[in-house]
Amino acid sequence: MTLVDTSSEEKIDSLLRRIQRIYLVLLCLVCLSALPLLASIIDGPPIPEGELESLLQAILYFMIYSGLRNRKSWVIPLILLTSAFSAFLFLLQFLTPSTDLKLLLAKVVSALMCLFFVYQMIIFSRREVRSLFGASKQIIFGG
Protein backbone atom coordinates (compact mmCIF):
# COMPACT_ATOMS: atom_id res chain seq x y z
CA MET A 1 0.00 0.00 0.00
CA THR A 2 1.39 3.40 -0.99
CA LEU A 3 1.10 6.64 0.92
CA VAL A 4 -0.76 8.26 -1.98
CA ASP A 5 -3.40 6.58 -4.11
CA THR A 6 -2.76 6.50 -7.85
CA SER A 7 -5.39 9.05 -8.86
CA SER A 8 -4.20 11.49 -6.20
CA GLU A 9 -0.58 10.95 -7.22
CA GLU A 10 -1.48 11.68 -10.86
CA LYS A 11 -3.26 14.90 -9.82
CA ILE A 12 -0.29 15.98 -7.74
CA ASP A 13 2.11 15.17 -10.57
CA SER A 14 0.00 17.22 -12.99
CA LEU A 15 -0.07 20.11 -10.52
CA LEU A 16 3.70 19.96 -10.06
CA ARG A 17 4.22 20.05 -13.84
CA ARG A 18 2.09 23.22 -14.00
CA ILE A 19 4.05 24.85 -11.20
CA GLN A 20 7.26 23.81 -12.95
CA ARG A 21 6.07 25.52 -16.16
CA ILE A 22 5.24 28.68 -14.22
CA TYR A 23 8.78 28.73 -12.86
CA LEU A 24 10.14 28.30 -16.39
CA VAL A 25 8.10 31.33 -17.51
CA LEU A 26 9.27 33.33 -14.47
CA LEU A 27 12.86 32.33 -15.23
CA CYS A 28 12.52 33.52 -18.83
CA LEU A 29 10.96 36.83 -17.75
CA VAL A 30 13.66 37.46 -15.15
CA CYS A 31 16.39 36.58 -17.67
CA LEU A 32 14.91 39.10 -20.09
CA SER A 33 14.92 41.73 -17.37
CA ALA A 34 18.56 40.87 -16.60
CA LEU A 35 19.72 41.71 -20.14
CA PRO A 36 20.66 45.28 -19.11
CA LEU A 37 22.93 43.73 -16.47
CA LEU A 38 24.84 41.88 -19.17
CA ALA A 39 25.18 45.10 -21.14
CA SER A 40 26.47 46.93 -18.05
CA ILE A 41 28.99 44.16 -17.36
CA ILE A 42 30.28 44.50 -20.92
CA ASP A 43 30.52 48.30 -20.52
CA GLY A 44 32.37 47.87 -17.24
CA PRO A 45 31.66 48.70 -13.60
CA PRO A 46 29.66 49.93 -11.76
CA ILE A 47 26.65 47.61 -12.02
CA PRO A 48 23.36 49.55 -11.86
CA GLU A 49 21.28 49.11 -8.69
CA GLY A 50 18.52 46.54 -8.96
CA GLU A 51 20.15 44.69 -11.83
CA LEU A 52 21.99 42.34 -9.51
CA GLU A 53 18.65 41.42 -7.96
CA SER A 54 17.45 40.18 -11.38
CA LEU A 55 20.48 37.94 -11.67
CA LEU A 56 19.91 36.50 -8.19
CA GLN A 57 16.23 35.90 -8.98
CA ALA A 58 17.20 34.10 -12.18
CA ILE A 59 19.56 31.84 -10.25
CA LEU A 60 16.89 31.15 -7.61
CA TYR A 61 14.18 30.38 -10.19
CA PHE A 62 16.58 28.14 -12.10
CA MET A 63 17.39 26.21 -8.91
CA ILE A 64 13.68 25.79 -8.13
CA TYR A 65 12.88 24.78 -11.71
CA SER A 66 15.64 22.19 -11.85
CA GLY A 67 14.78 20.90 -8.37
CA LEU A 68 11.15 20.46 -9.39
CA ARG A 69 12.11 18.82 -12.65
CA ASN A 70 14.44 16.32 -10.96
CA ARG A 71 12.23 15.88 -7.85
CA LYS A 72 15.00 16.81 -5.40
CA SER A 73 14.15 16.85 -1.70
CA TRP A 74 16.04 20.13 -1.09
CA VAL A 75 13.67 22.06 -3.35
CA ILE A 76 10.74 21.88 -0.90
CA PRO A 77 12.32 24.01 1.86
CA LEU A 78 13.66 26.34 -0.84
CA ILE A 79 10.18 26.79 -2.31
CA LEU A 80 8.59 27.26 1.11
CA LEU A 81 11.09 29.92 2.18
CA THR A 82 10.99 31.68 -1.19
CA SER A 83 7.20 31.57 -1.27
CA ALA A 84 6.83 32.99 2.24
CA PHE A 85 9.24 35.84 1.53
CA SER A 86 7.79 36.57 -1.92
CA ALA A 87 4.17 36.43 -0.75
CA PHE A 88 4.99 38.95 1.96
CA LEU A 89 6.73 41.29 -0.51
CA PHE A 90 3.93 41.07 -3.08
CA LEU A 91 1.33 41.64 -0.34
CA LEU A 92 3.18 44.80 0.76
CA GLN A 93 3.34 45.97 -2.85
CA PHE A 94 -0.37 45.28 -3.24
CA LEU A 95 -1.24 47.28 -0.10
CA THR A 96 0.67 50.42 -1.10
CA PRO A 97 -1.51 53.25 -2.44
CA SER A 98 -1.52 53.88 -6.18
CA THR A 99 -2.73 56.79 -8.23
CA ASP A 100 -2.24 55.90 -11.88
CA LEU A 101 -3.23 53.03 -14.15
CA LYS A 102 0.26 51.58 -14.38
CA LEU A 103 0.44 51.14 -10.60
CA LEU A 104 -3.07 49.67 -10.51
CA LEU A 105 -2.03 47.05 -13.07
CA ALA A 106 1.06 46.34 -10.99
CA LYS A 107 -1.25 45.77 -8.01
CA VAL A 108 -3.22 43.18 -9.96
CA VAL A 109 -0.02 41.36 -10.87
CA SER A 110 1.16 41.61 -7.25
CA ALA A 111 -2.11 40.10 -6.00
CA LEU A 112 -1.86 37.21 -8.47
CA MET A 113 1.77 36.53 -7.56
CA CYS A 114 0.92 36.67 -3.86
CA LEU A 115 -1.85 34.10 -4.39
CA PHE A 116 0.54 31.88 -6.38
CA PHE A 117 3.15 31.90 -3.63
CA VAL A 118 0.57 31.29 -0.86
CA TYR A 119 -0.84 28.42 -2.93
CA GLN A 120 2.65 26.94 -3.20
CA MET A 121 3.09 27.11 0.57
CA ILE A 122 -0.12 25.12 0.94
CA ILE A 123 0.75 22.56 -1.75
CA PHE A 124 4.36 21.93 -0.75
CA SER A 125 3.43 21.60 2.92
CA ARG A 126 1.27 18.57 2.15
CA ARG A 127 2.66 15.22 3.21
CA GLU A 128 1.74 13.61 -0.14
CA VAL A 129 3.78 16.15 -2.09
CA ARG A 130 6.76 15.88 0.25
CA SER A 131 6.73 12.09 -0.13
CA LEU A 132 6.99 12.43 -3.94
CA PHE A 133 10.21 14.36 -3.40
CA GLY A 134 11.56 11.96 -0.80
CA ALA A 135 11.23 14.59 1.92
CA SER A 136 8.83 12.80 4.20
CA LYS A 137 9.92 14.55 7.40
CA GLN A 138 8.02 17.57 8.61
CA ILE A 139 9.55 20.81 7.39
CA ILE A 140 9.03 24.47 8.17
CA PHE A 141 5.30 24.72 7.31
CA GLY A 142 4.64 20.96 7.46
CA GLY A 143 1.39 19.58 8.68
Cα separations in angstroms, 32 against 21, 28, 55, 83, 109: 17, 6, 10, 22, 18
The verdict on residue 104 lying in a domain is yes
Residue 67 lies in a domain: yes
In a domain, 142, yes or no: no
Contact 79, 120 (CB under 8 A): yes
Residue 22's domain spans which residues?
Answer: 6-132
Rounded CA gap, 139 and 30, in Å? 28
Asked if the structure places residue 141 within a domain, the reply is no
Count other Cβ atoms within 10 Å, centred on residue 103. 13
Q: Number of folded domains in the chain? A: 1
41 assigned to some structural domain: yes
Q: What is the pLDDT along the chain (143 residues), one digit of tens a residue?
A: 344 444 588 888 899 999 999 999 999 988 887 777 677 667 666 666 666 777 788 899 999 999 999 999 899 999 999 999 999 999 999 998 888 888 889 899 999 999 999 999 999 988 888 888 887 665 554 44
